[in-house]
Structure 1
Amino acid sequence: MKKIHYIFAILAGALLALTSCSNDDKIPHTDPGTITNPVETETPNTAYAPAFTGQTRINGVQTNTPYEGKVITTNLTAPWGVKSLPDGRLLVTEKGGTFRIVTKEGVVSAAITGAPAVNPAGQGGLLGLVLDPDFTTNRMIYWVFSEAVTGGNQTSVAKGRLANDEKTIEGATVIYHANPANPSTLHYGGRILFDKTGNLVVSTGERSVLETRPLAQSVTGGLGKVVRITKDGQAASGNPTFSQSGALPELYSIGHRNPQGLALHPVTGDIWESEHGPRGGDEINRLKGGANYGWPTITYGIEYSGEKIGAGIQKQDGLEQPVYYWDPVVSPSGMTFYTGNRVPEWENNLFIGSLSATHIIRLAIRDNKVIGEERLLASEGQRFRDVTQGSEGALYAVTDGGRLYKIDKK
């Protein structure tokens, strides 16, 4: 154990040396907990080498503060997104197309009607949601869903007002479509948040099929992107300018596969993203406006068949490296940064729902680098779809199996 602590001390010191040019240097550096061996012990799918030390299979870290995960309800149906209302109740999207409100005691409301119809086939449905920063006065919510249109399906964004009686969504309006449409029912992306400027940030998938996969690199379409739009669905001011001809003005970053997680760093305001890789190569990215995150040109994964993807390369000039990646996959989905004070080790850590690996990932981050990884609630055997922080500082997570968990200090 002394050796492990010594290795961690060297790593931490090296990372601290990078702070002089980082906007991360104002973040409190709390003790992340007990350092352990890496939590990932399974054989990787490839022999690909990481671009830098700590990009994958970082040391494990163990929370010392006693905490517990309690099931609040099991009465949800395929929940996909969860956000805390100002009074502490939780607003939940269900994949089939319904909104519901869950009380702190686990009472689930009737379906809230009024939202546009979704196509729930495959990976589609009613997906991520976010409350307006002025929700207490305007009661507006924004959400992502898979919409059946001429030519197939697409990732769409809508907005509407939660009625005072909380039975309907009033004035629901579709404000954005990620074109082109395609018959595929896969890889919609589907997360949404407000950035520090009050604009919406939305993740879209490249729809999985080989014909649309290259469109993640195209600036003339909305697939495989992170877009930044106003509350009315227009391109936000201050968006980066892409040099290629015909670039869409709403684009923020390109080269994404199936980004199912977005989170805003509480100190820096940086946008972080989680992204499903193929067989290996799940990613965590810190987004930079105008950057290209490489899919499918570079990847740390391979085809499900075992074949290499494209040229089988992991690095190329002009393409961004992930902050962190997994091989084998964990299938990272919704995520949030912890800003509570009930578990000191968790301050400004990133918590991510893991689907195929059935746990909640905790990443301790320092100076924009991952310094430790922990697996929470692994014994529950649940596909964790989204994680959010409640108004009182606890974490809440929903699972594909219909559960809502509260995770907090004992």
Structure 2
Amino acid sequence: MKYKKLSLLSIVAGLALLFFNCADDKEAWTFESEEVNFKLEKVADSIRVPFGMSFLPDGKMLVTNRFAGKILLVDIGTGEKKVLKGVPESYCKGDGGALDILLHPNYKQNGWLYFSHSIGDSISSSMAIERGKLKGDSLVNVERIFTAYPFYKSPSHYGSRMVIKDNYLFFTMGDRYDLKDSAQTLNNHLGKVMRIFEDGKIPNDNPFVGTKNAKPEIWTFGHRNPQGLTLHPKTNGLWLHEHGPKGGDELNRIEPGLNYGWPIICHCIDYDDTPIGEGITHKEGMEQPNYYYTPSIAPSGMEFYSGDIFKKWKGNLFIGAMALTHLNRLVLENGKVVDEERLLEDFGRRIRVVKQGPDGLIYIGVDGGMILRLRPI
């Protein structure tokens, strides 16, 4: 990735943070990629950890600030921010806080939005999903539709991403770090993908409904800490990525009832360089990843690009990378990854969330924390 500086601010080369905090210079950097040259524009700043992002019909967006446990109403044109009132309190430690936010596909008709966050305290915490409606700068008619069990003391690995498909809400829950073996048992929600109806009710055709001691919301299991979940724009297939420990971040196509292996199989080692479990990568009855990263990129956020602004990127999958600080672009053919490009490596920011805007541009949220958008040149 090569870049060019286009203003007198070139004298502060390397001080990207200082540069992007100058509000009058939103379009001062350009980047070259394999197929598209683009510029990076600042939309908003001063959002410590922008975890979730969703676009409203009126040209504004909702952004969760994980660190503060807040939902922000952001004017895309001016960058002005308002903190929503009426938002349920979050437990904001470690990986916890305000997590994902999602508008219902029929938002214009029914007004529902969904919000996931960590709840509890330092003794006992978990993840919950609320839904509510936006009235001015307040969240109203809030109701909790899901709570993950068990609660646990660790402030780590809550997931949590959401999508709505065919009137079902799919969402992820992490293994809570210390409880990784729970990802292989069905009597809890840890290390799982769940499926419920939009109002929180449980579909009777979920794969483990009727299985003794199994949580009926479970759709798939054997996951570590999934922080990417999205739908393929053509097939409507469900795709997920999850963190490995040291290596072994995975991209998976999600199918009901399947076991994705964690922590029995993985393409990774632990943080202390010891094997995970028996150190095996394959086992009968457990799925192999569609694609995996070694070393880890620490993926967060994920979106298939389906717009017409970046024509050469149409159909590509974009993943935010935190550990290796870039925007990961994957080219898929027949459901398999055939090429990878790492964009914005020189920018050096932890990319936390990736979304395609209604204008066809690509928006990213970076720790630190800004909302930026990519615009082709």
Q: Does 1:198 align with 2:170?
A: no
Stretches of structure 1 that go unaligned for 5 or more consecutive residues are: 1-60
Flag the 1:265–1:237 CA change in 2: closer, same or farther, 3 A: farther
1:313 Cα deviation from its structure 2 partner = 0.2
Q: How does 1:153-302 map to 2 (within 5 A)?
A: 153-163=125-135, 165=136, 167-195=137-165, 197-209=166-178, 212-241=179-208, 245-302=212-269
1:306 Cα deviation from its structure 2 partner = 0.7
The aligned residue for residue 317 of structure 1 is 284
The aligned residue for residue 82 of structure 1 is 53
Whole-Å separation in 2 of the counterparts to 1:79 and 1:293: 28
Q: Does 1:107 align with 2:72?
A: no
1:100 Cα deviation from its structure 2 partner = 1.0
Alignment partner for residue 97 of structure 2, among 125, 130, 133? 125
TM-score, normalised via structure 1 length: 0.81
Equivalent AA in structure 2 for residue 193 of structure 1: V
The aligned residue for residue 318 of structure 2 is 351
Q: Does 1:69 align with 2:40?
A: yes
1:262 Cα deviation from its structure 2 partner = 0.3
Q: Find the residue that maps to 2:81 and give its secondary structure.
A: coil
Whole-Å separation in 2 of the counterparts to 1:407 and 1:254: 35
Whole-Å separation in 2 of the counterparts to 1:234 and 1:220: 18
CA RMSD of aligned residues (A): 1.7
Structure 1 stretch displaced more, 216-225 or 103-112: 103-112
- Aligned residues of 1:73 and 1:403 also touching (Cα < 8 A): yes
Q: Find the residue that maps to 1:247 and give its secondary structure.
A: coil
Flag the 1:309–1:75 CA change in 2: closer, same or farther, 3 A: same
Equivalent AA in structure 2 for residue 174 of structure 1: R
Whole-Å separation in 2 of the counterparts to 1:148 and 1:106: 36
Whole-Å separation in 2 of the counterparts to 1:106 and 1:73: 8
1:243 Cα deviation from its structure 2 partner = 8.2
Whole-Å separation in 2 of the counterparts to 1:316 and 1:408: 44
Whole-Å separation in 2 of the counterparts to 1:198 and 1:63: 38
1:244 Cα deviation from its structure 2 partner = 5.3
1:149 Cα deviation from its structure 2 partner = 6.4
- Between the two structures, name the one with larger relative contact order (CA 8 Å, sep ≥ 6): 1
Alignment partner for residue 402 of structure 1, among 365, 369, 374? 369
Q: How does 1:141-156 map to 2 (within 5 A)?
A: 141-148=113-120, 152-156=124-128
User: Which is richer in strand?
Assistant: 2
Equivalent AA in structure 1 for residue 350 of structure 2: R
TM-score, normalised via structure 2 length: 0.88
Whole-Å separation in 2 of the counterparts to 1:401 and 1:366: 35
- Aligned residues of 1:88 and 1:392 also touching (Cα < 8 A): no
The aligned residue for residue 342 of structure 1 is 309
Q: Identity across aligned pairs (percent)?
A: 37
Whole-Å separation in 2 of the counterparts to 1:409 and 1:383: 22
Q: How does 1:3-14 map to 2 (within 5 A)?
A: none
- Aligned residues of 1:84 and 1:389 also touching (Cα < 8 A): no
- Aligned residues of 2:210 and 2:216 also touching (Cα < 8 A): no
- Aligned residues of 1:150 and 1:181 also touching (Cα < 8 A): no
Flag the 1:139–1:243 CA change in 2: closer, same or farther, 3 A: closer
- Aligned residues of 1:129 and 1:193 also touching (Cα < 8 A): no
1:81 Cα deviation from its structure 2 partner = 0.6
Task: Give deviations 1:212-268, integer Å, cap 9, x for gaps.
Answer: 111101111101000001122222343223785322211110000000010111111
1:68 Cα deviation from its structure 2 partner = 2.1
1:323 Cα deviation from its structure 2 partner = 0.5
